[in-house]
Chain A
Amino acid sequence: MIRFENVTKVYDPNARPALDSVSLEIDRGEFTFLVGASGSGKSTFLRLILKEDRATSGSVYVAGQNVANISSWRVPKLRRGIGVVFQDFRLLPQKNVFANVAFAMQVIGKSRGIIRETVPEVLKTVGLEGKERRMPHELSGGEQQRVAIARAVVNRPGILLADEPTGNLDPITSMGIMGVLDKINQNGTTVVMATHDDDIVNEMRKRVVELKNGVVVRDEAKALYTSMIPVVGESRRLKDASEAELDRAQGVQQ
């Protein structure tokens, strides 16, 4: 679904590359964590998938297509196949929940009927039914992120990119968000999530790709945030708490 072949990205010729000869393949339907210290190149990785930036060398393939060969007028089509979620939610403050999600469909020309049908469905998936008329400032951070996720997946993209989606949320709320992402992944969407949140990574036990100074230093299936460190103490307590939140989130959806 996503393939990097010796991808190097240099922003500033005088500094080290943001990504340094990265080769990586992410299959359809996979859930992958992208971890690493600040500045290790996680956001850059995601931006290259979106063709927000061009690789300095190497090739990025999305759904079998080399993004370097996608002409600028076809870039919107590429982006329709990819949903994106950010740490800062990026909701439109003067639109309510329904309108925020509907916006993503309006701007690509979906009919009113389809919008009216699809948006409530998606809001239900992210656990926000009944809150359609709320304004963003009337929602908690976790709820706002759910709206952002709903907006990212409302056009049924094959890929969902999440750049530290839980960065602004407390651990329990974060686990709720993870439940939503997991569910979207179960429905067949490939999810790539950049994160600093070790508890989440440890909890989810998904594939982990670790970047360090732009280089992939680890690529491990069903892995932990840090290689070979068992879950202990504080993490354990949060894990229990987040499991409760997960159950609650799933309970809401049924």
Chain B
Amino acid sequence: MRLAFILGEIGSGLRRNLSMVVSVVLVTFVSLTFVGAAGMLQLQINQMKGYWYDKVQVAIFLCNDSSTATGCASGAVTKEQQDNLAKMLDSPAVKPYISDYQFESQADAFKHFKEQFSNSPIVDSVTQDQLPSSFRINMKNPEKYQIISETFSSQPGVETVSDQRQVLERIFEWMNGASVAAMVVAAVMIFCAVLLITTTIRLSAFSRRRETGIMRLVGASKTVIQLPFILEGVIAAVVGALLASGTLWLVAQFWLNGDLSRQFLNTPFISSTQVLVIAPVLIALGGGLAGISSLLTLRRYLKV
């Protein structure tokens, strides 16, 4: 009976305040979409890190005939220099940091180059001599790149030490920046949402002060008096959160895994199922914020 009564009260409250309730739904929808977008960017970064970090290598490029670096003053790398470098890679000072390494000769490099640019005219203008041979190193811990760089970059026969990871880091930094920006927008929007929920609940409490006054006098419990208002805010916010989750799912399903993944073939995009992990967070966040702000508003504006 009491449950039916509370449900009825919620229904009439939502109807009476329809336009305010709709605006609460929309504002929470937009703000939580931004929160979710920030979350998706983080998921995407993690996904790409997981995918690429196993594959990225540190490369020690060796001198060739056309090298201009100071370490290459004596011309192309010699057999001794190359053996010396290989010995250093196996030495106890370096070995603990690397899981394995391969030597890529100029011929291998040329082959890879031709594969990579198979349908570009640049292939015809490049000869094998122009490409450097290299040691390709898989690190145990990619963060320890500095050690390889310090040890090898001044060795004779080494043109340069390059970390593919740094290129990725720049991309991730950019994505991180975008996710922070989304969070900032989200924070402002959430602030708006909270203000709007507060106002809505206040209006709702005001428009029903007759009922609540009588409820108080006949001895209705605090819960029965307050719950309909709180749930009114929470329901509106949860609807907003569901809309936001739906939107993000659509974005993942039809944009990331549609258009974008056709354009960037070897980029691992997050799946629409992964986005569903964000949905409960959004719903809890929306519902929680609405519940707390309603409760605080009622404490001020609804005597029980």
Size range of the interface on A?
20 to 34
A-B contacts, 22 listed (Cβ < 8 Å): A50-B217, A76-B220, A76-B222, A77-B219, A79-B216, A79-B217, A79-B218, A80-B218, A84-B217, A90-B210, A90-B213, A90-B214, A92-B211, A104-B214, A104-B218, A106-B5, A107-B2, A108-B221, A110-B1, A112-B1, A151-B214, A151-B218
CA distance A155 to B216 in the complex (A): 14
Check A107/B224 contact, CB under 8 A, given A84-B217, A112-B1, A155-B219.
yes
Known: A76-B216, A76-B220. 4 other contacts (CB 8 A): A78-B219, A79-B218, A103-B218, A151-B218
Cross-chain contact of B220 among A72, A107, A111 (Cβ < 8 A): A107
Q: Does B185 contact A (CB under 8 A)?
A: no
Cross-chain contact of B214 among A72, A92, A109, A111 (Cβ < 8 A): A92
* B7 → A minimal CB distance (Å): 12
Q: Does B215 contact A (CB under 8 A)?
A: yes
- Contact yes or no, A109 B2, CB < 8 A: yes
- Contact yes or no, A106 B219, CB < 8 A: no
By a CB distance below 8 angstroms, the chain B residues around A151 are 214, 218
- Contact yes or no, B219 A108, CB < 8 A: yes
CA distance A81 to B217 in the complex (A): 10
* A209 → B minimal CB distance (Å): 23
CA distance A77 to B218 in the complex (A): 9
Would you list which residues of chain B between 199 and 239 have a CB under 8 Å from chain A?
A: 210-211, 213-222, 224-225
CA distance A110 to B219 in the complex (A): 12
CA distance A216 to B210 in the complex (A): 33
- Contact yes or no, B1 A109, CB < 8 A: yes
By a CB distance below 8 angstroms, the chain B residues around A92 are 210-211, 214
CA distance A50 to B218 in the complex (A): 10
CA distance A106 to B6 in the complex (A): 10
* Chain B residues touching A, majority SS: helix
By a CB distance below 8 angstroms, the chain A residues around B217 are 50, 79, 84
* B201 → A minimal CB distance (Å): 19
- Contact yes or no, A108 B218, CB < 8 A: yes
By a CB distance below 8 angstroms, the chain B residues around A112 are 1
By a CB distance below 8 angstroms, the chain B residues around A109 are 1-2, 5, 224
- Contact yes or no, B219 A80, CB < 8 A: yes
By a CB distance below 8 angstroms, the chain B residues around A155 are 218-219
CA distance A108 to B2 in the complex (A): 7
| Contact indicator per residue, chain A 92-106, by CB within 8 Å of chain B (1) or not (0) | 100000000001101
The 8 A-B residue pairs whose C-beta atoms are closest, nearest first, are A80-B219, A79-B219, A107-B220, A109-B2, A104-B218, A76-B219, A106-B5, A107-B215
CA distance A76 to B223 in the complex (A): 11
Check A107/B213 contact, CB under 8 A, given A76-B220, A78-B219.
no
CA distance A72 to B303 in the complex (A): 12
By a CB distance below 8 angstroms, the chain B residues around A106 are 1-2, 5
CA distance A184 to B175 in the complex (A): 75
Check A107/B5 contact, CB under 8 A, given A73-B222, A78-B219, A80-B218.
yes
CA distance A107 to B5 in the complex (A): 7
**Which A-chain residue is minimally distant from B210 (CB atoms)?**
A92
CA distance A112 to B3 in the complex (A): 12
**Which B-chain residue is minimally distant from A77 (CB atoms)?**
B219
By a CB distance below 8 angstroms, the chain B residues around A50 are 217
Would you list which residues of chain A between 77 and 135 have a CB under 8 Å from chain B?
A: 77-81, 83-84, 90, 92, 103-104, 106-112
CA distance A84 to B213 in the complex (A): 12
* B117 → A minimal CB distance (Å): 76
- Contact yes or no, A111 B218, CB < 8 A: no
Indicate the member of B1, B214, B218 with the most A CB atoms within 10 Å: B218
By a CB distance below 8 angstroms, the chain A residues around B220 are 76, 107-108
**Which B-chain residue is minimally distant from A86 (CB atoms)?**
B217
**Which A-chain residue is minimally distant from B211 (CB atoms)?**
A92
* A82 → B minimal CB distance (Å): 8
By a CB distance below 8 angstroms, the chain A residues around B213 are 90
By a CB distance below 8 angstroms, the chain B residues around A81 are 219
**Which A-chain residue is minimally distant from B218 (CB atoms)?**
A104
CA distance A103 to B210 in the complex (A): 12
CA distance A112 to B8 in the complex (A): 14
CA distance A16 to B213 in the complex (A): 29
**Which B-chain residue is minimally distant from A50 (CB atoms)?**
B217
CA distance A73 to B220 in the complex (A): 10
CA distance A104 to B218 in the complex (A): 6
- Contact yes or no, B221 A76, CB < 8 A: yes
CA distance A50 to B303 in the complex (A): 14
Would you list which residues of chain B between 170 and 215 have a CB under 8 Å from chain A?
A: 210-211, 213-215
CA distance A90 to B225 in the complex (A): 17
By a CB distance below 8 angstroms, the chain A residues around B224 are 107-109
CA distance A151 to B211 in the complex (A): 13
By a CB distance below 8 angstroms, the chain A residues around B225 are 107
